[in-house]
Every structure is written in C-alpha cells, then in structure tokens.
Amino acid sequence: MRFRVVTLNLEQDHKRWDQRRPLVVEGMKALDPEIIALNEVSIARQSARDLQKRLRSAEGIDYNLVQQTRVNALASVEGEALLTRFAVVETGNLDFRTRDMVAQVARILVGGKPLDVYVTHLYMSRGDDSLRLFQVQQLLAWIDERNDISDCIVCGDFNATLDMPSAALMASRFRLSQTAPTAFTPLAGPDGAISHPYWPRMDRCIDYIWTTGAIETVASGVCFNKPHSADPSLWPSDHAGVWADFEF
C-alpha cells in the first residue's frame, strides 16, 4: 500500500500567520497526504486543530489529530502534532528533559499493518550539537523500548545537517527520504524582518523524514518552498517542508 507523508515546521503563529495559513492549507490540499507531521503548532491559537477543520471543510476528508505540548512554561505556547487519515491505536510521548522539548508517537494502521510515526523538534540550529546528540540518543532509546514492531517513521525539524553528530547518529539507524535544502525561507514579518537573519537562505537540510523496517521510499522532495504569488516575502513558513511517498 502506498501512502504520502508531509512534515513542516509551522513557526507557531509568528510572522503573519493569518496570511500564511491559506498557503499551508492550499499546499496540503495539493499534496493530499495521508500523514502530516507538524512542528511548532501554536497552542494559544490551536493551529493544528484549525488546520484539521479547514482540511475537512476543503477536502471533506477527516484527519485524526494527535498533539503533544512542550513542557513547563512552553506548554501553553507550542507543541508537536500529527494529522493522519489512518486509524490511531496508540499514542505516547517523551520528555527530553532539555529545553522543555518533547517527542510524540502515534501507532497507526496502514492497510491493517501497524506503523509507528514519531514527531519531534530538536534544539535550535545555532545551539550546541551536543545537546541535540543527547536528544537523539534519548529518542533512539525510546524507539528501542517500543520494539514490538519494526516499521517506524520519524519526522521533524532536527536543526542539524548530516555532517553533525546528532543527524549522523540518526542516519546510522534510519534511512532518509531526501536531503534537499529546507532552511531557511525568506519569510518576513510585517516589519520586514526575516526569520533567522544570521543564516543564508535555503542552503541546508535540517528537516527530515526518516524510515526503518520494511518501508520503501518511492519518491520524495521539498514542499512549501514557494512564496505567495503576489508577495515574495510571504511564505508558508520559515522552513520548507518535506514530502515522501512510501509503501510496504
């Protein structure tokens, strides 16, 4: 059975979210994925639930929603989310106990076959990779504990390129769908200030879809990598997304 996965960091509700949101909805309609992984959903704006409702209204397709807020003070600010058309039979979460960051997992049934889909967002791209490496070690240990099935997908913003130890450790255990640049778009706020001004535009891949087990990558690429047709400063997010088609 073939199915499509999309992962995207939404940049919370910053930088003209109300204007960006239609670009996200239209992009998801065009991609028509069965699984959507989202980083930095806005808890205050309930942006994941809002996207769920808008996709149902636009496409008439129901997505099941599983989300996990960050912990401590960030619990009311942002979180990770998963939207899927497949039945959800189990969920779980991991507190990295570093920088209030978390990971979540949903076990879904794809054609009756169980598949674990993880969503996470690691420490910031300008930060010390040793902290991201610690988070990857924790993530892999958690995945190993959930060893009753072998088919897994891990999605999200890892804030690391493949030459860094954290992403290299993931690559030693998981397969990548693609490595085209996803960071960072020229998304600008109403004051004209762009996200992450200290980085060049779209020169690195830090957002990934990783797989293991009997999952074959059929095709993959970058998405949400074009601005509004009438405003070159308005992008769906400060990250591009990744899409991938898989089959067992």
C-beta separation of 188 from 240 below 8 A: no
Q: What mean pLDDT is reported for the chain?
A: 97
Which candidate, 110, 43, 37, 112, places its Cα nearest to that of 72?
43
**Residue 61: its pLDDT value, please?**
84
Q: The tokens of 237 are what?
A: 């997010």
- Joined together, the tokens standing for residue 215 give 């999952």
Tell me the percentage of the chain whose pLDDT exceeds 90: 96
Tokens of 228: 């509004």
Tokens of residue 176, six digits: 């990548």
Give the strand order in the sheet containing 35-42.
64-69, 78-84, 35-42, 2-9, 241-247, 216-223
Number of CB atoms found within 10 A of residue 124's CB: 14
Pairing of strands 64-69, 78-84: antiparallel
The CA-based diameter of the chain, rounded to the nearest angstrom, is 51
Residue-wise pLDDT tens digits, 65-98: 999 999 999 999 999 999 999 999 999 999 999 9
Does position 143 have pLDDT exceeding 80, yes or no? Answer: yes
pLDDT in tens, 212-241: 999 999 999 999 999 999 999 999 999 999
Which CATH topology does 2-247 take?
Answer: Deoxyribonuclease I; Chain A (3.60.10)
> In the predicted model, is pLDDT for residue 187 greater than 80?
yes
Structural domain boundaries in the chain: 2-247
Angle between helices 17-31 and 47-59 (to 10 degrees): 50
For residue 23, give the DSSP letter: H
Query: What is the per-residue pLDDT across 28-76, written as a single tens digit (0 to 9) for each?
Result: 999 999 999 999 999 999 999 999 999 998 778 899 999 999 999 999 9
Helix-, strand-, coil-residue percentages of the chain, each rounded to 5: 25, 35, 40
